[in-house]
Structure 1
């Protein structure tokens, strides 16, 4: 069964390493017979929540997220934190888009970092939307040197590509296992719509 995976490139920069990684991962998923959509927050800029979305970007992003069976959430590390654009997206996204859908977190770093944004997103971004982060994650370190077009440039590049392919397969296993839960639990009783 073909699955639709939405990949969110969480950088607000128009041409970002996060977007490069998102497109590389999308190609990996396509090789596994998946349909993919890449949401680049540097291209589809959401106003800071709760401002009105006068450009109409949110309805398009919402429709993509609603149609997705699973997510890949890619966050650059900016001063040890998740990007503001990505945190803002989670203010917009709710149960209708994300409840009980599996999501793989991917950190992106120009150096040896990348883990702090993942911890931050695990701690706070799931509460109201109920996205289900996998216990595994992926960190793409020294991102400028890896996942570029063509053959692997180094042993590190080869290793992260193999790890990424494995992580995409794991995400698909979770996607198949959790598929029935989104429909069944995205609309709980009104008293329990928000987390405790």
Structure 2
């Protein structure tokens, strides 16, 4: 099973990328391969109609979409900016389609330098799966006071959060095994209903 971890930050050297690298290390216990996509480095343009006709500015999206198609599960991470998920991550989710994500499990993760982090999870749950039909796990992770709990070796010094991270990523792997046939059987059957009611 393959997992793609998306660090939805728009800053270089961000804490969100550190959390993504930590979760990649955790995921290595439960998935055969993993990749971290850093949205700061990728620097995608904002959604426009050119994505549908593959205009030149969207050439860098094509290998990303291909990688997503071959992934069995996802982790989407966002820092909390003004109580919201980042424009980069929301843009990323707008670019994805049912071909890449439908009926595959995804774990939502929020990163906060203080004690917050709840609002981005709620925001992404409300609209993040609208047209791509990704299946968000009922569980999520929030890394609070992240600067204090992550080490340079990509470990988490908070024992409870570390244990919870392992449990939740193992849960994600279990969902990916269970949902694999659903994606295969239903992604084409649902084409007529890809935009909802």
- For the criterion TM > 0.5, the same-fold answer is yes
Point out the more displaced range, 170-179 or 25-34: 25-34
Identify the match of residue 18 of structure 2 among 1, 17, 20: 20
| Highest RCO, 1 vs 2 (Cα 8 Å, sep ≥ 6) | 2
Q: CA deviation at 1:97?
A: 0.6
Identify the match of residue 114 of structure 2 among 111, 116, 133: 111
Identify the match of residue 121 of structure 1 among 121, 124, 135: 124
Q: Does 1:5 align with 2:18?
A: no
Corresponding position of 1:173:
174
Aligned residue for 2:129, secondary structure, equals coil
* Distance of aligned partners of 1:35 and 1:189 in 2 relative to their CA distance in 1, 3 Å threshold: closer
Contact 1:47 1:53 in 2 (8 A): no
Runs of 4+ off more than 3 Å: 150-154
Q: Does 1:71 align with 2:69?
A: no
Which whole-Å CA distance do the structure 1 matches of 2:73 and 2:175 have between them?
9
Identify the match of residue 144 of structure 2 among 141, 144, 152: 141
The TM-score normalised by the length of structure 2 is 0.91
The TM-score normalised by the length of structure 1 is 0.92
Contact 2:31 2:173 in 1 (8 A): no
Deviations 1:141-160 (A, max 9, x none): 00111222349675xx2221
Aligned residue for 2:41, secondary structure, equals coil
Aligned residue for 2:23, secondary structure, equals helix
Q: CA deviation at 1:191?
A: 3.3
Matched positions, count = 192
Which whole-Å CA distance do the structure 2 matches of 1:33 and 1:73 have between them?
16
Name structure 2 gaps, 5 residues minimum. none
* Distance of aligned partners of 1:161 and 1:119 in 2 relative to their CA distance in 1, 3 Å threshold: same
Identify the match of residue 86 of structure 1 among 86, 89, 99: 89
Corresponding position of 2:36:
38
